[in-house]
């Protein structure tokens, strides 16, 4: 009997996190108004200083990330862009030159100069260059050879390998399809059977796993959902069970966890919050699946429903459940132009408070949770999640959020993102125009 009362390590860790978070909230609630406003203020200057220093120089402790240097560029550059700032000309030129040296002669980007190309670092490098913007950055991407690299990573199951002889998973599908879509090189050869592979990874819980037969995970769920939108097959997913699984990942701390019975983590502010923002634009399709499940019409929820969602674009429209008409790469812009037909599916104010009170380091940078150290990865995805929260109440991508949508002062407002790619919207539009011509 005594043995059964013992806490597991996971239960002990959860209790510790809850205690620290609730102490922060209790301390906040009992503070005077002017102190509350200060604690809820995004420390822009300190964050920018922390980020800029990281772009200029990293100490020897970062040697373990030698194969992730394009990621460091992306996390830092995207965070700076979210804060509405840009880097100076010298830093911009240095970043472009460095990423050019990471580009493999046969296509794709490695983790550093001379390293083998990898889909994850290719995604990071491309998003970094798009975030920098301008002719020099965008024209440095060899789209023809990158397309060849993506084809080499394609496997018969419909998925992709991360690198030569590497793992096959949903992350590889997303990074390949995302890069191809944003660079306007997406074609039927790349999308063939991708939807079947993603479907095989949706679990009984409703979330999406990294590989078939494994546990649903917040990062893979975002990757799988975004991929299905980009290939216009999102109606094949069981969206009802997906949204149910995701809604229960926002914990009592108001932050998101990545998996069932795991601890809250600030990075899932984007992976889960961003996926919620995608689902918000699919409410018509979710309603159609709900009606179908009630009255027994159509196929099973994991098959195609009779209803479809049209992604309108300048080049025509495409059904969300059929191959796109015209250019496959139009799906990203078409989706962005859709109105948010429903209110947010999660507690946006609660998540903002978790980010600002529990993940923000007042000296600059953001972190996983109380007791952890700041880092560039969590800074990027906490800020991305904060942006998603602030703009989730806006019905269109062009409309500014009203003050009640923002926790803390209105000066906390960040730049809006294109949630399918996690790049700032203005940078996305510039890249979309630049790459509108065939390669």
Q: What residues act catalytically?
A: 217, 259, 262, 265, 267-268, 368, 375, 378
| The two structure tokens encoding residue 168 | 């096959």
Q: Is 351 helix (H, G, I), strand (E, B) or coil?
A: helix
Upper half-sphere CA count for residue 269 (Cβ side, 13 Å): 36
CB 121 within 8 A of CB 102: yes
CB 42 within 8 A of CB 362: no
| The two structure tokens encoding residue 132 | 């920098």
CA Rg, the chain, in Å? 21
Residues 6+ apart with CB under 8 A from 411: 41, 42, 44
Q: Looking at beta carbons, which pairs linking 49-54 to residues 24 or more positions away fall under 8 Å?
A: 49/364, 50/363, 50/364, 50/365, 50/374, 50/379, 51/76, 51/79, 51/80, 51/364, 51/365, 51/376, 51/379, 52/80, 52/87, 52/91, 54/376
């Amino acid at each position: 009997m005594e043995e059964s009362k013992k806490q597991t390590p996971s239960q002990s860790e959860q209790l510790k996190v809850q205690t620290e978070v609730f102490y922060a909230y209790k301390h906040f609630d009992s503070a005077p108004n002017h102190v509350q406003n200060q604690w809820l203020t995004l420390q822009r200057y300190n964050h920018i200083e922390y980020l800029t220093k990281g772009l200029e120089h990293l100490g020897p402790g970062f040697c373990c990330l030698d194969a992730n240097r394009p990621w460091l560029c992306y996390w830092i550059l995207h965070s700076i862009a979210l804060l509405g700032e840009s880097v100076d000309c010298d830093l911009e030129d240095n970043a472009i030159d460095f990423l050019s040296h990471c580009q493999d002669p046969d296509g794709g980007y490695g983790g550093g100069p001379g390293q083998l190309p990898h889909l994850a670092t290719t995604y990071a490098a491309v998003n970094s260059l798009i975030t920098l913007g301008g002719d020099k950055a965008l024209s440095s991407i060899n789209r023809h050879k990158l397309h060849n690299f993506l084809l080499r990573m394609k496997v018969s199951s419909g998925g992709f390998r991360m690198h030569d002889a590497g793992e096959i998973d949903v992350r590889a599908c997303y990074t390949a399809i995302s890069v191809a879509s944003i660079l306007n090189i997406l074609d039927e050869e790349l999308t063939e059977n991708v939807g079947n592979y993603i479907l095989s990874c949706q679990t009984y819980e409703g979330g999406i796993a990294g590989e078939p037969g494994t546990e649903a995970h917040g990062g893979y769920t975002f990757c799988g959902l975004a991929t299905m939108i980009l290939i216009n097959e999102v109606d094949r997913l069981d969206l009802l069970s997906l949204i149910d699984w995701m809604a229960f990942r926002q914990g009592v701390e108001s932050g998101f966890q990545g998996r069932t019975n795991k601890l809250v983590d600030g990075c899932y502010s984007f992976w889960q919050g961003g996926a919620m923002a995608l689902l918000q634009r699919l409410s018509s399709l979710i309603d159609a699946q709900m009606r179908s499940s009630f009255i027994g019409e159509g196929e099973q929820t994991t098959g195609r429903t009779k209803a479809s969602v049209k992604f309108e674009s300048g080049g025509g429209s495409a059904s969300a459940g059929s191959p796109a008409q015209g250019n496959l790469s139009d799906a990203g812009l078409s989706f962005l132009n859709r109105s948010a037909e429903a209110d947010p599916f999660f507690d946006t104010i609660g998540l903002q408070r978790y980010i600002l009170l529990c993940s923000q380091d007042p000296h600059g940078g953001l972190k996983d949770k109380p007791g952890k150290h700041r880092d560039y990865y969590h800074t990027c995805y906490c800020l991305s999640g904060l942006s998603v929260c602030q703009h989730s109440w806006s019905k269109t991508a062009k409309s500014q959020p009203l003050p009640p949508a923002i926790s803390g002062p209105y000066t906390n407002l960040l730049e809006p993102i294109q949630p399918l790619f996690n790049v700032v919207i203005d940078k996305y539009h510039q890249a979309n125009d630049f790459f509108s011509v065939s390669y």
